[in-house]
Structure 1
Amino acid sequence: MTGTVVSFEGILFPSLHYSPEILREVQESFIIKDEDVLLLTFPKSGTSWLVETVCLIYSKGDTKWIQSEPIWDRSPWVETKYGCELLKEKEGPRLISSHLPIQLFPKSFFKSKAKMIYLIRNPRDVLVSGYFFWRSAKLVKRPQSLEQYFDWFIQGKGYSFRKRATRLPWWSSGSESACQVVFGSWFNHTRDWMSMRDKENFLILSYEEMKWDTRSTVEKICQFLSKKLEPEELDSVLRNSSFQAMKENNMSNLPLLKGRYFEENGQLLRKGVTGDWKNYFTVAQAEIFDKLFQEKMADLPQDLFPWK
């Protein structure tokens, strides 16, 4: 049986662990401390990889922490009831994960000196990765096909459109569909958070640059967080945050969640590659997506998007 969704200020969330009451509390009264480090992504943009990397930087490459404590306890999700309560109990500098759009994020962050790393990824790969992830999850309504999920993703919000009653967007396939993409529109999420890009406490990274030059990216994170690693410590961070190492680490992969939240064949870490969308998009879908991307992101510097 698949889960249902809840709506908060026009954004959909899985009903399991999320509620309007908690989301309102997080937005209005959760206190972000100056020493906190926030790890923010749109879902399926490399969240676990970023969290694992930062955890290893904090431990100077020592694997005891990442192999003994689940990833969602090391860097709790502030917007969930479990994560919010856990974070309230944590002392000292906290790692905090989130998928929240900017308008729902704790207001206290914007008056703090807390540092945020925002990881973006080619949205075409985000779409494909999200399709396979939500197909195996029991958290939300499952897409029946990649074509259906493509429509959901580019609509980017929860609503039903009716072919007879509504003029359909040019980018829709024309099928009747109840859009079920949680956390809202990738385009809105990315555009809105990019407004922070000139702040000293805000670092933008891309999944692609992490793949192409992992060492330089880790060094950039260290500099941003004022963390110094010795050469052998850096080597350990790189080795133990690799895709294969994370797949083998039960504290960072899916096995602990199978059965209740995911099907037995579900995969949190599926391929860990760039450009996989080319294996799944049709020519027509690629053209639709390109046109939509240009429309939605035209006024942002294009060098922010290394996959183009």
Structure 2
Amino acid sequence: MSTAEMEERIRLYEERIAKFQNKKPEEFIMEYKGYQYPVTLCSLDTFKALETFEARREDVMLVSYPKCGFNWVLQLLRYIVSCNKTNNEEHPKHEVPIIEFRSPERLQELKNSPSPRVFGTHLHYDEIPAPFFKKKTKMVVVFRNPKDTVVSYFHFCNGNPLLPSCSSWDEFFNKFMAGDVFWGSYFSHAIAWNKHIDDEDVMLLTFEELKEDLTGGIKKIVDFYGFSLSEEQIQSVADRGTFKSMKDNSRNTHFNLGDVFFRKGEIGDWKNHFSDLQSEEMDAKFEECLAGTKLGAKLKYDLYCKT
């Protein structure tokens, strides 16, 4: 991204912040098909345009509930695609990849972008635009244990001026458990994806397994998409793709919100926030929704979410 392009991005971002800085929390919310979305980033026109978006089989799609490692894995996908390029065409490095954040005009411009295009979304399975399923676009789906997810989501909302802040951790926890947050209930997302965990064009990873073995996770992604990367290239992606490396570079990728998008990247921060009663409530919800499922097993709940 050139200096001029970066300055324009920052200018537009600051204008949007100024527009909403005195708004009440409820004024940040738009509803569409039963889900809440930030009006600062989404629009009805975009959702309508996505219904007829021209997806491709070659597209690289990342799907994740908010704060499950989306920005981390997105950067990994970009590094992987960059290494896999077999031509001299330049792929955009810093464009907004979340499809529900793009204006209809910017969605239209993507017709001219070379494959593979890297996209992402936080949309519920049932709300992902049908063209991606019709084209059998391969999707990497990332989940994270729900206790660390809600903690990260709480800090993200309170640190991002384009989202409404919450007055207390207790208030946000209650909203999260009720699904009264942007993109809806974590557990609704998880239940839906559990039904498709064995689909041919789906690969489900967890934040925790990437923390345990980043190189192994990168190899899984490369194999899933059929990319041709050498061992040296895979190691290069792993070296650039550590949480620390991305946080150190976040001023270049996420401007002055770098520390908001890349806060801690740890497993177990929930222990610094949850009360005993909240922990018991989350345990019961997990048992109700995901115990005995394949996704529930991948999340290793007893290992990461029990004291």
Q: Please, what TM-score do these two structures have when normalized by structure 1?
A: 0.81
> 1:1-308, aligned counterparts within 5 Å?
1=21, 4-26=28-50, 28-60=51-83, 69-70=93-94, 72-73=95-96, 76-82=97-103, 84-157=107-180, 181-250=181-250, 253-255=253-255, 258=256, 267-298=260-291, 300-301=293-294, 302-308=296-302
**1:167-209, CA deviations, whole angstroms, 9 ceiling, x for partnerless residues?**
xxxxxxxxxxxxxx10111111121122221111100000000
Structure 1 unaligned runs (5+)? 158-180
What's the secondary structure of 1:246's corresponding residue? helix
CA RMSD of aligned residues (A): 2.4
- Counterparts in 2 of 1:232 and 1:81: CA distance versus 1, 3 Å: closer
Q: Distance in 2 between matches of 1:87 and 1:104?
A: 20
Alpha-carbon contact 1:61-1:233 (below 8 Å) kept: no
Q: Which has the higher helix share?
A: 2
Q: How far does residue 252 in structure 1 lie from its aligned partner after superposition?
A: 6.0
**1:256-280, CA deviations, whole angstroms, 9 ceiling, x for partnerless residues?**
xx4xxx6xx9621001111111111
Alpha-carbon contact 2:197-2:204 (below 8 Å) kept: yes
Structure 2 unaligned runs (5+)? 1-20, 303-307
- Counterparts in 2 of 1:212 and 1:228: CA distance versus 1, 3 Å: same
Alpha-carbon contact 2:70-2:142 (below 8 Å) kept: yes
Alpha-carbon contact 2:78-2:93 (below 8 Å) kept: no
Q: How far does residue 81 in structure 1 lie from its aligned partner after superposition?
A: 2.8
What's the secondary structure of 1:292's corresponding residue? helix
Amino acid at match of 2:245: A
What's the secondary structure of 1:204's corresponding residue? strand
Q: How far does residue 254 in structure 1 lie from its aligned partner after superposition?
A: 3.0
Amino acid at match of 1:20: L
Partner of 1:161: none
Alpha-carbon contact 2:250-2:259 (below 8 Å) kept: no
Q: Distance in 2 between matches of 1:149 and 1:191?
A: 22
**1:69-122, CA deviations, whole angstroms, 9 ceiling, x for partnerless residues?**
32x44xx11112346345344232211110011121111122222110000001
Amino acid at match of 1:25: A
Alpha-carbon contact 1:18-1:79 (below 8 Å) kept: yes
Amino acid at match of 2:131: S
Partner of 2:3: none
Amino acid at match of 2:148: D
Alpha-carbon contact 1:209-1:306 (below 8 Å) kept: no
Alpha-carbon contact 1:52-1:252 (below 8 Å) kept: no
Aligned residues: 272
Q: How far does residue 210 in structure 1 lie from its aligned partner after superposition?
A: 0.1
- Counterparts in 2 of 1:85 and 1:136: CA distance versus 1, 3 Å: farther
**1:6-61, CA deviations, whole angstroms, 9 ceiling, x for partnerless residues?**
100110111023112211321x2112211111101001111111111111112229
Amino acid at match of 1:306: K
Of structures 1 and 2, the one with the larger relative CO (CA 8 A, separation 6+) is: 1
